[in-house]
Amino acid sequence: MPALAGLSYDPGAQGGTTNIEVDRHGDRVHEYVSLAGTHNNCAGGITPWQTWLTCEETEQRAGGRFLRDHGYVFEVDPYDREENLDPVPLTFLGRYPHEAVAVDPYTHSIFLTEDANGPHGLYYRWVPPRGFRGGQGALRALAQRPDAITAGRLQAMSCVKGDRHIADLSEATTPGTRYKVEWVDVPDRDARTVSVRKQFTDEQVTRSRKLEGAWWADGGAYFVASYARADDGSVNEHDGQVWFYDPSSETVTLKTIFGVNPDPEQDTNYDGPDNITVSPYGGVILAEDGEGLSHLVGVTEQGKAYPLARNELNDSEFTGPTFSADGKTLFANIQTPGYVFAITGPWGRPSDAEPS
């Protein structure tokens, strides 16, 4: 099939996004391709102006079948299809293996996770240039400026505890662990010669194996570290962390941690959290991408994990949990073969005593 004229970023790439429109009951009305010609699209995230930022989890350079560089973030508008024509990479957000984003609705700063190793990935903040106000078309307009690559400031997170630098988030093993956050400017955000994460020493930034999902709620940004192992260079081993970045105090706090899963085939054990959403009924919902059984896992506000759904079809991961605007329907996917589900509850406020 030839590339879609006016809709494809790179005719040699096979990724993209599809929008599904549903009615108020969650039933599909129709669907359409909203972006094509991107590569290895991953989680992304919603903006306060109700568009979606889709992330390329790659560092693929132009060459061979690829006609353009990849490793960028793109904006998809679900309400105005004209805004999706002639896709524009948001180069000011950097070129690296992006996973997910969360947008501060007040400052319009964007927080981004990097799913990479060798060395491990970083947690980033993009600070808009003076006078920027987000809204429909604002990011695209900024990306089309001649100085787009240097618009605003792209920074990497560096954590400290007192006067001690934290080189690896896996050091934290106890929920409630809190680190002070500092931010370090990225020298070359387009990674023209060196990958962004390789532009820093371990003494300058805080790294983490498998930084995954992100979601803005409760006045800050939740983000996920999927797992850590000693043989990949991590300080401590775990099978999942959920962190919360608080911009008002410039801290990150460990909200939940899963120990190394002794038996991934058991329904009571969970590992490899990936995508995340915050439930309007309290707590968070995580999509497992680990070993053995694959679940949607709820975590109460008190930190207790419970199974919400289980993949009975195959061993593929759940992805992309997100609630409808009215909170009545939870949408989620099974990555392979690409199923989308609308889960309608009934919902209740989960607690440590009785998850629901």
**DSSP string for residues in 289-346:** -SSSS-EEEEE-TTS-EEEEEE--S-SPPEEEEEE-TTSS-EEEEETTTTEEEEE---
**Closest by alpha carbon to 80, among 135, 36, 25?**
135
Q: How many CB atoms lie within 10 A of CB 130?
A: 6
Give the Cα separation of 78 and 322 in Å (integer): 15
Query: What's residue 109's pLDDT?
Result: 98
What is the maximal distance between C-alpha atoms in the chain?
A: 58
Query: What's residue 5's pLDDT?
Result: 73
Q: What is the mean pLDDT of each run of 10 residues along the chain (356 residues)?
A: 78 94 87 95 96 98 97 96 94 98 98 96 98 96 97 98 97 97 98 98 96 97 96 95 98 96 89 96 95 93 90 94 93 94 87 55
The pTM for the full model equals 0.96
> Domain locations in the chain?
15-260
Query: Which residue bears the tokens 């024509």?
Result: 85
Query: What's residue 57's pLDDT?
Result: 98
**CB of 69 within 8 A of CB of 61?**
yes
Residue type, 261: N
Query: What's residue 6's pLDDT?
Result: 80
